[in-house]
Structure formats: structure tokens, C-alpha cells
Structure 1
Amino acid sequence: MHTPDNSHLYEEVLVSPMYLAGSNGTGDAGFAPIAHWPHHYLDDGPCQLLVTSPDQRIRIGWFGDDFELWKITAAEDATSAPRWTATFNHVTPAEIVAGLTTALAHDYAEAAASNTNGRFLTGPLPSWVDTVRPLTDAGWTRDAGAELGTVEIIAPDDQAGILIDKRGSGPYRKAVELWAGPPGWGTRAEAVFTARTPSHLVAATAAVMADSAPVIRERHQIDRRMEHLVTLTPVAPAATAAEPWVSRSPTPLDVRRTAVTQAVHRAARAPRTAADLRVMAARSRTATSTRAGAPSAVPAAVARPLLSPSAPRRSR
């Protein structure tokens, strides 16, 4: 990470592609879809925050000091062993985690309304095609050189992919891995799903990776080793290089951008409540209207995770 030695490093920028944006320090985006579920703060343990469905069958754990920052599970009931597990490491953008938590919130609400067990316990489909469809629809292609018994779909820039491992047996084996970035502790994002994870939940997570919308980060949050792989666009317009001392009146576009940025800061520093979700919705509407009037605007999705060590899993 950059040494924070000047204000330029704290400038907010839009980062694209999103899957290479890394962490911005908190997990707000990942928790936002389930902000209305019970929160359990466990400051003394490795799991610092546990958010559960009302019946505790779904559990989303935040391990703020670990390499595997997120651990998400679903079980038949509150006391059963997990049917499946998904983990996200410290480099994974929380926006990607939100793809899974959004799908889980929808599945749980649907199950409660219909008085059924819920799709989050249905298990994977026999074919891998639907699992990767959001990626192939976005132009990702199959790697012909993948190992026998595996399927790998690679992004057009070769900097992200999904690996489906059909070898081995057992419900707790690692069957699917979403990855992004070059190998390395601070550069490789990894999301791992065990064998019985429902296909539509993996697909929902993958769909976020396929989304072309950028995300907001501060410049110092971008690892130096990633700078040549991403596009950074300042959120706020800078003064001209020729006359940096010139002060100008803010335009309506500047005002809208400032309002969005302030809303993001407030949301990042306060617990998620129903009011926070209304702020997020308002920000999304503002971003949409801003895009209509200018080519560069703040996207609707913003995020937050943390850091910790481990060796890279893949050598790609």
C-alpha cells in the first residue's frame, strides 16, 4: 500500500475493473443486503461480527483480522452442521460478497413467504453451464488448458476467472473458486465455495464480477502492484494543471457528486440501519441522474473489507 504522505493519496477514484479494486477497509457493501437481520458483535473472538437470518440457518461471519475475511454458511436448522460454506479473502471487494448476500436475502424472504426450506439449501445443478452463464454472457471464455476434471472460465483481460473442480468427493471439498488479480498476498482476491453450494448462489456472486460498473476507492487503497492493471478516474474534478490556484464556482454536477460522496462517508462510518439503506437508494438515484448529464459519475455500488496474511493458492 502507499505511504499516506499527502492529500492526493486520499482522493476518491472510480476503479475499473471492479474485481481488481481490492479492499477499502470495511465490509459495508457485503452487509448492506442483510442489514435488517440480527447482528451479533463478538469483539473478543476471531469472528468480530456475525449476522444471521432470523432463524439462524444462514450465518455471515466477519473475521476482521484473518486472511479469510468472510465465512458464510447455510444449514438445515440453527444447530445443524453447515450444508455449504463460502469464504472470501481479505483482498476480495465487498461488492462481490454483496452478490452472495443479496441472493441469500432474496432466497430467505421467498422461503418465509412460501413457508418452504428455501433455495439456499437446494444444492448445485448437475451442469456447470448455468453457474458460469453471467460470465460467458459478458464475454469470458473457457480455458482450453485447464486441468483434466476442471473447468475454468477466464476474463477477457486474463486477470480474473472461475475454476470449477469436479474431481474428488465429499460435501465439504472446495468445488468452485472465483479469483481475480495476480498471485500474491495483497493482490489475489479469492472466493471459495464448497461442493453443495447452490449453483444460483455462485452465479449471483459471479454476476457481480462480470459487471462493468466501477467502484469507489481512495488512491492509497490501491496496491502499487495493481496500478497498471486498473483504470482510475477521479470522482471529483481537479483544478487545471496550468492554473491550480484558480477557484471556480461549483457546477450542478459538482454539487451532486459532493452529495453522493458525503453520503458514502456517512454510510461508511455508521452502523447499517433502515435509514442507511434509504441513503444508499438515494445515492443510486443520484448516480443515475448524474450519468445522464456527464460521461463520468459515481456508481451506485460502493464497498468495504480488511487485511491479513497467507500464501497464494493459484499460480496463474
Structure 2
Amino acid sequence: MTDPTQIDGDVYVSPRYLAGLSGHADCSFDPVAHWPHYHLDAGPCQLVIASPDHRIKIGWFGDDYDIWQVSAAADAVSQAWWTARINQNTPPEIVHGLTSALATEWDENSVSFLRTPSPSWADAIRPLLDAGWERKPLTRGVLEIVSPDGLAGASIDIVSSGPHAEPVTLWAGPPGWGTRTEVIFSARTPKHLIAATAAAFADPTPVARYRDDLDPQLAKLAHLTPVQPPRPATPTPLDLHRATAARPAPALGTRSASRGSTTTLPPAPAGPPPPARHR
């Protein structure tokens, strides 16, 4: 569970696919934070994070439209077997779904992130169907799955072929430079990796954003809930008992106090003055 004292935002955005890119926190690289990082001084790609054997590469193009570009290859120098392009409107929490799956699957002997055991496109979008997204009739070779609010979906071109085709697009938001989220997968992307990304789309958990960072058009479409500061926890009877037991006992006076007394006794009164001497 997220620590409420570490929330980076003043509103929760739901559904999360309308939250856009956060201007303050980027969790997309968290699952691969332990992989080697390469900061580039020149060119549009500003950062490359690679698996230790360089078979998986995640490029960050911070000033471009497709700001994440992910690829996997048979070895460090071979051409990419599959690619994913993710644009600048995509919430990092959705990218996290893909990078988390890659970080979990990678090891020196793994090839599961290169091959898919399933020939069915249904397996790629299974999380969307399980979440109640509607499958539309096939139109001109394109299969559409749309969210209940009509603001997100998956488009699968089952006709295009060839290793460089990009038949799968996960999308959200209305068309436009600042509003449309797109994650585009090439033909040989393993279905379970597409499904991991789709599951992040369908995740009902809202995400935190600062209201001023939201595109106004997305803000009108999304449900915004103010982030409330955490309330102090109400002490339980056990908490009160422990607090009382931990208090130091008050100091007693020089005279003995009766059992159960918690106050210091007053000093004893002075006796009568001695008799005066007569000469």
C-alpha cells in the first residue's frame, strides 16, 4: 500500500489511463533501476537502461513524441526482435506494467521475453476482456476492444504481417497531441508482455497528480478526488494502557505514603516553641 505521507500530487485521477505524464514523479523505470544506465549527451535519446547482457534496452527520448522506446534482441548486437513505442501522454504507471514484466522475466538464460507461447491475440488483451471491456465486431481486419466509458481501448490489426508491422495499439483519451495515449507493439512482441501492459491500463487503482499538470481536456473527462492528508490514528485501549504504563512514577516525599497514593505528603507541622528561661 502506498504511504499516504509520500503522495506526489493533490488529486487522485481515475481512470488512470487519463492521468497523462506526471511532471513530478516517474515510476516507469523503478523495476529496472538496478540495471545499467547510460546517459547520452547528444542525440534525441537521453538515457538508455539496458539489461546486464544488453538484450533488453529501454530508451528515454524526453523531448520527442515517443518518449519510451523498448526493444529486445537475441544478443547485445543483433537487430531488435520486437519493439514497443510509448508516447509522451502515457502515464508512467502503465509503462511500469511493461518494465516490471521485463525485469521479472530477465535472467542470463531466459528467452521468455523474446518468444511467445501463444498464437492467439486474445491472450494479449485478456486483462481488458476480464475487466469488462467490450469486444467490437471485426472491421476491415481490425479488432477493437473498448473500455466501458469509451475513452480507452486496444486496436489489433490481424491482417498486417511481417516482422516490422505494428499490429497492436493500446490507446486512451481523445485524439490530439496532448491528450492521446498510445502504446504500439511490433508483430513479434510476446503476447504476455502486451497483456502485462494491458493489465496496467485496466487497473482500477487511481493515480496521484497535481491538478495544474493535467491537460484541461483530460481533467474534464477524468474523475478527480482531492488527496486528503492522513488523519491521526485513534488510540486503542491497548495504546492508552501502554502509554500509562510507560509514564515514570512521581517522586514521593520523605514520609511514607499510604498504598495507592500518588501525591507527595506535606511536611509535618512544627512543634511548640521551647519555654523561655528566667534569670
Same fold (TM over 0.5): yes
Distance 1:118 1:252 in 2: 49
Structure 1: which 5+ residue stretches go unaligned? 1-9, 238-249, 254-316
CA distance in 2, matches of 1:11, 1:127: 40
Percent identity (aligned) = 55
Q: Structure 2 CA distance, aligned partners of 1:195 and 1:223?
A: 32
1:99 equivalent among 97, 100, 107: 97
CA deviations on 1:177-212 (whole Å, 9 max, x unpaired) are 000000111000000000000000000000011100
SS of structure 1 residue aligned to 2:125: helix
TM-score between the two structures when normalised by the length of structure 1:
0.69
> Residues 124 and 196 of structure 1 are in contact (CA less than 8 Å); yes or no, is this contact kept in structure 2?
no
The secondary structure found in structure 2 opposite 1:19 is: helix
Q: Please give the TM-score of this superposition, normalised by the length of structure 2.
A: 0.78
Q: 2:9–2:208: 8 Å Cα contact kept in structure 1?
A: no
Q: Quote how far apart the aligned CAs of 1:150 are.
A: 1.7
Which amino acid letter does the alignment assign opposite residue 231 of structure 2? Answer: T
1:197-236 deviation digits (Å, cap 9, x = unpaired): 0000000000011100000100011111112211111112
| CA distance 1:138–1:98, change in 2 (3 Å) | same
In structure 1, what is the equivalent of residue 114 of structure 2?
A: 121
Q: Distance in 1 between matches of 2:11 and 2:125?
A: 30
Amino acid at match of 2:33: A
Report SS of the residue matched to 2:167. strand
SS at match of 1:121: coil
Deviations 1:237-294, CA, capped at 9 Å, x for gaps? 5xxxxxxxxxxxx8326xxxxxxxxxxxxxxxxxxxxxxxxxxxxxxxxxxxxxxxxx
Task: Give the Cα separation in 2 of the matches to 1:216 and 1:26.
Answer: 10
Aligned to 1:221: 213
Residue 66 to residue 73, structure 1, CA distance change in 2 (3 Å)? same
**1 CA distance for matches of 2:184 and 2:119?**
19
Partner of residue 74, structure 2: 76
Please give the alpha-carbon distance, in whole angstroms, between the structure 2 residues aligned to 1:11 and 1:100. 23
Q: Which of structures 1 and 2 has the larger relative contact order (alpha carbons within 8 angstroms, sep 6+)?
A: 1
Q: CA deviation at 1:27?
A: 6.8
The 4+ residue runs of structure 1 with deviation greater than 2 A are 25-28
Task: Report if the CA contact (8 A) 2:116-2:192 is conserved.
Answer: no
Aligned to 1:33: 31
Q: What residue in structure 2 maps to residue 251 of structure 1? A: 231
Structure 1 or 2: larger helix share?
1
Taking the TM superposition and a 5 Å limit, the aligned residue runs for 1:173-192 are: 173-192=165-184
Q: In 2 relative to 1, CA 60–104 (structure 1 residues): closer, same or farther, beyond 3 Å?
A: same
Find the aligned partners of 1:77 and 1:127 in 2 and give their Cα distance.
27
Residue number among 84, 92, 98 corresponding to 1:86 in the alignment: 84
Q: Secondary structure at the match of 1:91?
A: coil
Match in the other structure for 1:23: 21
Please tell me the residue identity of whatever aligns with 1:138: A
Task: List alignment gaps of at least 5 residues for structure 2.
Answer: 1-7, 234-279
Query: What CA deviation, in whole Å up to 9, does each residue of 1:72-131 have, x standing for no partner?
Result: 00000000000000010000001111111000011104xx3xxx3421010473211211
